[in-house]
Amino acid sequence: MTESAGGTAASPRGRRLPAGGLAGIAFIAALAVWPLFKYQAGPPAELRLRYEKVSWPQTGGVTFQREGHGPQSMPLTAEALSQVLGDGVPEGMQEVRIPLPRRSVSAEVVLTDMSERRVSQVTWVGMRAPLLFGQPPPLTFEQRVDEGGVATVTVPRLLPGFWALDVADPGMVLGTWFVLWLLLEARFGTGTAAAFARSRAGWAKYALPLALAWGFLWALYFPGLIGFDPLLQWDQVVKREFLNWHPPFHTWWLWLIAGPFDSMAAVSGLQVLLFAALMGKVLEELGHWKAPGWARWAVVAWAALSPALGTNVIAVWKDAPFTLMCLWVVLIVLRAERTGVFTVKDAARLGLCIACISLLRHNGPLLAFPLLVSALWRYRGTRQRGTLAIVGVGLTLLVRGPVYIAAGVKPSPPLLTQVLSIHRLGTAAHYADSLPPEDVRTLTSLMPLEDWRRLYDCEAVGRLIWPGSPLFEHPERLEGRALELAGVVGRFAKSHPDAVFDQWVCVTRYLWALDSRLYIGPFDPSGNAVDRNFFGWKTHSWFPKLNWEYTQMLLKASIGERWQRVSMWQPAPSLYLLLAALGVVLWRQRSIGVLLAMQCALTNTAAWLVLSPNPDLRFQFPAMLFAPLALALVLAPRLVKAQARREPGAQAQVDVAAARGQDTAA
């Protein structure tokens, strides 16, 4: 090794660049790829023409020109000419919405059967992400209508163009810059930033491919999977009226993240990053458990390629953050079991997870309470136990008490609290001839027996409580009758146990059977993954052709050959693999701690075996996500210190004892 003039040893790897220089190089590289992202990534923009509403079908066409290209013409589709429910158009007006390439500079639209109507407004709206500085002003246009009622609207200049910045632009530039900067720091840097980058290298290598795979699905179904429940929750956000039909805690989660952007894409996009990061951390922890590298990468491949996992990651319903909290529990507990140390910070984190699990779903307490009790039993230390109980229980009571009162949260309606009784009463209605007269009167007071029999479905309660049902139109019939309905169900169960058992088998079949009906999400054959709504939200895929093809594959697999349903959608295989893997892990590790790490998935399944109202895939998201992790943990050797004390400083005590033993032997 040579020495410099100052007498200090030179680095064997040569001169390194300062942190500022590496950050600058990364930023220049991010800006260099930004134009390609701006022009090529994302769905097309929409040219919108507004005029007085017509009551007859129309046809038309558009001719547009892109930068550096000649004019192109195409007919208007039925979707472009049809009115969208809740699209924000004033009463008595309608809009034609024409998707065009974002680099279009001019357009001419022809509309037939306009009669005496005239286009009153033309706008150019980007669909990739909300603009940073509001929507652009209306465009200047010319129009003429001939004697046959054919209108020609000419838009000489489509603005804004390249410099109309949307949320995706800084997200892409800053995200690309940050990743490139950390990569450069990890390879060439020195100092704090380099140390930070190298310390994250263990989990980031797993998180990055997951973020790319799930991020692609996010772009494919932009702004994400949005079912009926989050749409109702967003309606509460808009009206500032919160009802405990859906957990208000999750409603506020949506409000906090989506509110600044007025787009659910922020929620689904953040979930992609959080799930990828947490999965990367858990896989890094499995590396400390000495699980083989190929097994960890197999988990990455499983999670990245599984449609059931990917679509649930980008779905904005409450089961996604709920499962995220369960995954965090896995990380906390596995680390504590490996090190034999459970600190106060660990207790606070686990308490936060317990509180969120309890608040994110109505049946969350059924998972949170066993987790709290088992953690208090497993991990000792007065401060740790006190912190765990105060954070877990205290936060739950704080939110459900003072916070709910301050926000004016209305209590859950009887249609929700009595949903399980209603479903079982549907079964009883088919045996009305053998029921006591007073029970028949109770049933008919809610709705006629023929309606009970017509709407009843043993696999799902939805038809009994949603629009079209007398109970939906007259929910007041359920007020104050919870005990009465429970009594009818109890007497029916006593006199007809076989019927009640058959109904239970039917409604829980999707949990344990390889062949069952299953709701996988709000997928439409057209490629749309957003339920019909009053906000005008729909899927604006960044890759429309791939979106359609992938959706066809998903839908065909959900109703196709049995092997397709089992391999891609049915949650039962994941559940059985999880149970088998945990059995082997318990036998190999000789420690109950691993079961504590995965117990959220088990208690979640147990809860749905008792409370399931519908065959929804999302209910089993934890079991499907934990199954590959448990299989990788099977291959880990037995921990030498798996039975170490779980108190702060315990590891130091073990090391001191070992040192004393060595001195004695010497």
Q: Which residues are CB-neighbours of 66 under 8 A, at least 6 positions away?
A: 72, 101, 103, 104, 105
Q: Which residues are CB-neighbours of 406 under 8 A, at least 6 positions away?
A: none
Residue 94: the pLDDT is 86
DSSP state for residue 417 in the 8-state scheme: H
Q: How confident is the model at residue 135 (pLDDT cuts 50, 70, 90)?
A: confident
DSSP for 55-104? SS---EEEEEEETTS-EEEEEPPHHHHSPPTT-SPPTTEEEEEEEE-TTE
Residue closest to 176 by CA, chosen among 211, 224, 213: 211
Q: What does the pLDDT look like over 358-412, one tens digit per residue? A: 999 999 999 999 999 999 999 988 999 999 999 999 999 999 999 999 999 999 9
Q: What does the pLDDT look like over 415-451, one tens digit per residue? A: 888 999 999 999 999 998 899 999 999 999 999 999 9
Secondary structure (3-state) at 120:
strand
Q: Among all chains, which residue has been given the structure tokens 């290598």?
A: 205
The dihedral over CA atoms of 279, 285, 290, 291, expressed in degrees to the nearest 10, equals -20
Q: What does the pLDDT look like over 63-82, one tens digit per residue? A: 999 888 889 999 998 888 88
Q: Where are the domains of the chain?
A: 1-41+173-199, 44-155, 202-652
**248, amino acid identity:** P
Residue 445: the pLDDT is 92
Mean pLDDT, residues 621-632 taken together: 97
Mean pLDDT, residues 115-119 taken together: 85
CA dist 226 and 330 (Å) reads 27
Is residue 348 over pLDDT 90?
A: yes
Burial of 455 (0-12, 13-18, 19+ CB in 10 A): buried
Q: Which residues are CB-neighbours of 49 under 8 A, at least 6 positions away?
A: 95, 96, 98, 109, 111, 119, 121, 122, 153
Q: Which of 223-227, 269-273, 556-560 has the lowest mean pLDDT?
A: 556-560
Q: What does the pLDDT look like over 461-490, one tens digit per residue? A: 989 998 889 998 898 899 989 999 999 999
Query: 418 in the Ramachandran plot: left (φ > 0), alpha (ψ -120 to 50) or beta?
Result: alpha
Q: What does the pLDDT look like over 490-543, one tens digit per residue? A: 999 999 999 999 999 999 999 999 888 899 999 999 899 999 888 888 898 988
Q: How confident is the model at residue 654 (pLDDT cuts 50, 70, 90)?
A: very low
Residue closest to 64 by CA, chosen among 78, 85, 80, 87: 80
**Would you state the structure tokens that stand for residue 130, as one six-digit string?**
């909300």
Taking the alpha carbons at both ends of the chain, their separation in whole angstroms is 39
Is residue 13 over pLDDT 60?
A: no
Residue 68: the pLDDT is 80
Q: What would the CATH number be for the domain defined by 44-155?
A: 2.60.60
Question: Do residues 185 and 201 make contact, with C-beta atoms less than 8 angstroms apart?
Answer: no
Please state, as a whole number, how many other Cβ atoms lie within 10 Å of the Cβ of residue 407.
Answer: 15
- pTM listed for this prediction: 0.86
3-state helix, strand, coil in the chain (%, to 5): 60, 10, 30
Burial of 189 (0-12, 13-18, 19+ CB in 10 A): buried
Q: What does the pLDDT look like over 517-531, one tens digit per residue? A: 899 999 999 899 999
